[in-house]
Structure 1
Amino acid sequence: MRATRLVSLLLLLQSRDRMTARELADALEVSVRTIYRDVDSLGAAGVPVYGEPGHDGGYRLLDGYRTRLTGLTASEAEVLFLTGLPAAAAQLGLTAATTTAQLKLMAALPAELRDRAGRVAGRFHLDLPPWYLGTERTPHLAAIADATWNQHAVKIRYLRWAEPHEITRTVQPHGLVLKAGNWYLVARGDGRFRTYRISRILDVDVLAQPFDRAEGFDLAGHWETYLEHFDRRRHRDTAVLRLSRRGLDRLPELLDPAAVAARKITAGPDAAGRTEIEIPIESIGAAVPELLKFGADVEVVAPEALRTEVVRTLRAMNRAYGV
């Protein structure tokens, strides 16, 4: 276990300019004191690692030092092929590069690891788009990916929901995110970060001037925060529902995860076995079709506007069926 950690520490320092003891401890999920001991062990083994004091200090390897550790464990070789996303790579314009890299890796692996990696590729397939929804057209994805990688600003013509629907902006692309089969661009413009759905980009012009990325920008952390804020902005209202036992059981399959996670039980179950809950909703219009999925297993208690709209919809359905 310790030997594996020492190798991981060495590879971390090799892949970055410098890292503090705290950063190394967080990355390896150990204490700072353990990092101090491990660095001493690497130094005693002849690895040219040294520490720089001060606010911008940290541990680093002597310039030019590269480890020759190239061995892969069986599980590491399997994971490399499990994480391959051919469809995503194709959308980014990297089909040939992905195929070539996999062939080179397979050729370099010993026979036993090659067989195990091949079994993973043949037994696990990642299909990202949700059920019954096709992959969106993203003709400008490759150009935006190239600009993101090479840190070039882009001028985009974008179709959004709000008025005016069509806008033109010059932005600095900081990252691309693949969420539920759809691609999103995280870019900075006018001093703030915004998220753009790639399929809604009508035109893109990659500009010649490069830009400096925002210092300390963390794409994964930014995206997680964005999703939390998005749900809070989307769920502007609340509704009180009275659900049967079956309706309560079907809640996770019929409502989106954010609404299910935020639900609050306010009363019940009553004599009829119905439980009263409060959930966040996006709007009256958006909530009606979602609640109709429950059939007779749900009754809207509040707000009155939502209850009235559900009743109006049900009466219209009755008229359509001659009831």
Structure 2
Amino acid sequence: MSLLLLLQTKGRMTAQALADELEVSVRTIYRDVDSLHAAGVPLYGDAGPSGGYQLLDGYRTRLTGLTEQEAESLFLAGMPGPAADLGLGDAVSAAQLKLMAALPSPMRDRASRMATRFHLDAPAWYYDPERSPFLELVADAVWRERLLEVSYRRWRSPEEVTRVLRPLGLVLKAGRWYLVALGSSRISTYRVSQMQAVTVLDESFTRPAGFDLAAHWAASLEEFQARQYTGVAVIRLSARGWEMFSNHVLPVVARAAEQSVVEEDGFFVVTIPIESLGHAAGMLLRLGGEVEVLEPAELREQVTAAVRRLASIYLG
């Protein structure tokens, strides 16, 4: 069947090309071609350098039934990396082949061009994808609505906790997988790479009525940012500092700066949200002499102290 779908999708192919694509021997291709002939498939072959096997013009097989796993994998068809992470890489390839074979020729050509011109690379710059050894187990529990017992390492004390979770969904954010799950009382987010041990329990659970994973994730991000940025600072940037600014801060800070910018004698005065004095000082020091802190005084003092320490190191 794979051989038939390949010929329907790609047209004429040599026995060697078919063997390479299907990872079998040329002898196996010959045997499978004989089987297709016996089944009444109008398949013919031409000898010579430009020869190969081809289906009779106009012949099309109906889309053969997708397996359950192939159907489940369709929403990941544009994301081969994440699909492989979830153990669905082969299923995605098989589903794509069946879908391509079912498309009319003009649509199939357009779909092929799409695949060669657009590519999704999920991780952020300078970061490698995280290793999440329990991802497939977690994904299986999400799909089958099974309880998960998770040993989880977190940032605050106690650092390692064990929880029984109702897994509601997985989210891929900047190359990192997160589990959204209902604990004993509320829905929380868990970084899959921080899971130290995972057991899928036999007990199933009922998802909360009306739960929308995408809407919940968007609301969680907004709430996180509201909790994270608890203060504001007023800074003055040179023209070069203003050009550099958005490349050195998070998008929420850059957007706030754009909305509050006031030009004064070639400088740009902006008001930005800050997480803490220490975090803000580190962020602004990346801009060197292109930025001056105007408010609050405590942040100005922290930056001043850091500059003095640097001067003492490099200037003696």
Partner of 2:82: 88
Partner of 2:250: 256
1-side partners of 2:148 and 2:232: how far apart?
A: 40
Q: 1:86 to 1:265 in 2, by over 3 A?
A: closer
Equivalent residue, structure 2, for 1:295:
288
1:145 lines up with 2:139 in the alignment? yes
User: Shift of the alpha carbon at 1:204?
Assistant: 0.7
Structure 2 CA distance, aligned partners of 1:242 and 1:93? 50
Q: How many residues align?
A: 246
Match of 1:277 in 2: 270
Checking the alignment, whether the CA contact within 8 Å between 2:261 and 2:271 is kept in structure 1 is: no
Does residue 105 in structure 1 map to residue 99 in structure 2?
A: yes
Question: Which stretches in structure 1 are left out of the alignment for 5+ residues?
Answer: 1-79
> Aligned AA for 2:283?
E
The TM-score, its normalising length taken from structure 2, stands at 0.73
Which amino acid counterpart does residue 312 of structure 1 have in structure 2?
Answer: A
Query: 2:120 matched to which residue of 1?
Result: 126
- For the structure 1 residues 165 and 219, does the alpha-carbon distance in structure 2 shift closer, same or farther, using more than 3 Å as the test? same
- What pairs with 1:147-226 in structure 2 (closer than 5 Å)? 147-226=141-220
Which amino acid letter does the alignment assign opposite residue 223 of structure 1? W
Q: What secondary structure does 1:101 align onto? A: helix
Between the aligned partners of 2:191 and 2:299, the Cα distance in structure 1 is: 31
More deviation in 300-309 or 187-196? Answer: 300-309
Distance 1:226 1:267, change over 3 A: closer
- Partner of 1:126, secondary structure, is coil
**In the alignment, which residue of structure 1 is the partner of 2:130?**
136
Larger Rg computed on CA atoms: 2
SS, match of residue 254 in structure 2: helix
* Cα deviation 1:83-139 (Å, max 9, x = unaligned): 510000000111111111111112222233222211111111111111111000110
Question: Offset of 1:265 from its aligned partner?
Answer: 6.8
State the alpha-carbon separation in 1 of the partners of residues 249 and 178 from structure 2: 24
Separation (CA, whole Å) in 1 of partners of 2:109 and 2:261:
58
8 Å contact from structure 1 (residues 81, 117) kept in 2: no
1:82 Cα deviation (Å)? 9.8
Q: Secondary structure at the match of 1:262?
A: helix
Q: Is the 8 A contact 2:76 2:83 kept in 1?
A: no
Please state how far the C-alpha of 1:229 moved relative to its aligned partner: 0.3
Alpha-carbon deviation of 1:81?
A: 10
Aligned mate of 2:232, from 215, 230, 238:
238
Q: Which runs of 5+ in 2 are unaligned?
A: 1-73
Q: Which runs of 4+ in 1 moved over 4 A?
A: 80-83, 264-268
Distance in 2 of aligned mates of 1:141 and 1:204: 9
Higher deviation after alignment, 302-311 or 229-238: 302-311
What code does the residue aligned with 1:135 have? P
Quick one: structure 1 residues 120 and 172, their matched pair in 2 at CA, closer, same or farther if it must change by over 3 Å? Answer: same
Structure 1 residues 145, 82: closer, same or farther in 2, change over 3 A?
closer
What do residues 123-158 of structure 1 show as CA deviations (whole Å, max 9, x unaligned)?
111111111110001101110000000000101111
Q: 1:164 is aligned with what amino acid?
A: P
Q: What displacement does 1:251 show?
A: 2.6
CA distance in structure 2 between the partners assigned to 1:227 and 1:264 by the alignment? 21
Match of 1:321, SS? Answer: helix
Distance of 2:96 and 2:263 partners within structure 1:
57
Shift of 1:267: 8.0
Q: 1:252 to 1:266 in 2, by over 3 A?
A: closer
Secondary structure in structure 2 of the residue aligned to 1:315 = helix
TM-score by length of 1: 0.71
C-alpha contact (below 8 Å) 2:77/2:96 kept by paired residues: no
What letter corresponds to residue 261 of structure 1 in structure 2?
Answer: R
Counterpart Cα distance in 2 of 1:81 and 1:138:
21
Does the 8 Å CA contact 2:169/2:180 hold for their aligned counterparts?
yes
Q: Report the equivalent of 1:315.
A: 308
Residue type of the partner of 1:301?
Answer: L
Measure, in 2, the Cα distance between the counterparts of 1:276 and 1:135.
Answer: 37
